[in-house]
Amino acid sequence: MNPRVPAVGLAVCCLSLTLCAGVARAQGETPAFDAARVPAEGAGEKAFVPAGWKVGGRAGGDLDGDGRADAALWLVPKDYDTEGVNAAPESQALLVLLSSEGGRLRRGGLATKLLVPVVPQYILNLSVKNGVLVVNQNYGMTDVLDVTDRFRYDPAAGRFVLIGRDAFNYHRPQGPDWPAVKVSENYLTGVRLTTEERWRGQRPLKPSEKREQIARTRTFLEDVDEDHDN
């Protein structure tokens, strides 16, 4: 589950998904996550989780190259049900904790706009691969969007930088009336690869591919905004 749709199309797609599912952003029921309540350092994970919130999921691995195990935590409201297929919570956050000497933890990154709120059939997968934090979100009932953001720690900046973004926009079920578009962007090499899958009858055709150069942008974890309705 990879690749991506252009920003304008993605915004329209996200809005369409929300409307079709009859899901509206609730006002005032769950307050937005307050980053100011998360300390810079702490003795354990619990010290970083504000009252009224909990850890809904996690991924572990060495993210800063020091040989110690670090963690990425999915923070959700305390009453949010993380079991089975759900709509996304009205507010959520991604917290990265880096291990320090003596077993203490420090805040390595905190994203409050990366994770998409209030979308149907929401799935979040977190993983650490070769020191890269991989954040995969999949949501939608008939029209589905699968988005993967990849982050690498920059020692000079002391922050996580977005190095790649993939998105896959497809229809469920896939078939001749609904082309599937995959877009993969690599911000280290400055390359965008767009792939479109089509069918003739029930027979898939050879996918079309388009490769182009893009700007080698430098965006930090805290600044990535996948919530295009915000």
pLDDT tens string 169-207: 998 887 777 889 999 999 999 999 999 988 777 777 888
Q: To the nearest 10°, the Cα dihedral for 210, 211, 212, 217? A: 120
Token pair 């926009």 is found at: 169
For residue range 60-118, list pLDDT tens digits in order. 999 999 999 999 999 999 999 988 778 999 999 999 999 998 889 999 999 999 999 99
Q: Write down the residue that tokens 């430098």 correspond to.
A: 218
Instruction: Quote the DSSP letter at residue 216.
Output: -
Tell whether 33 is covered by a domain. Answer: no
Q: What is the mean pLDDT of residues 10-27?
A: 39
Contact status, residue 103 vs residue 72, Cβ threshold 8 Å: no
The pair of structure tokens assigned to 69 is: 């195990």
Chain centroid to Cα 127, Å, comes to 11
CA dihedral for 82, 84, 89, 95, sign (positive or negative) = positive
Cβ–Cβ < 8 Å for 90, 31: no
Residue 44 domain flag: no
Number of structural domains the chain divides into:
1
Q: Is residue 43 part of a domain?
A: no
Domain that holds residue 89: 7-23+54-223
* pLDDT of 24 over the 80 cut: no
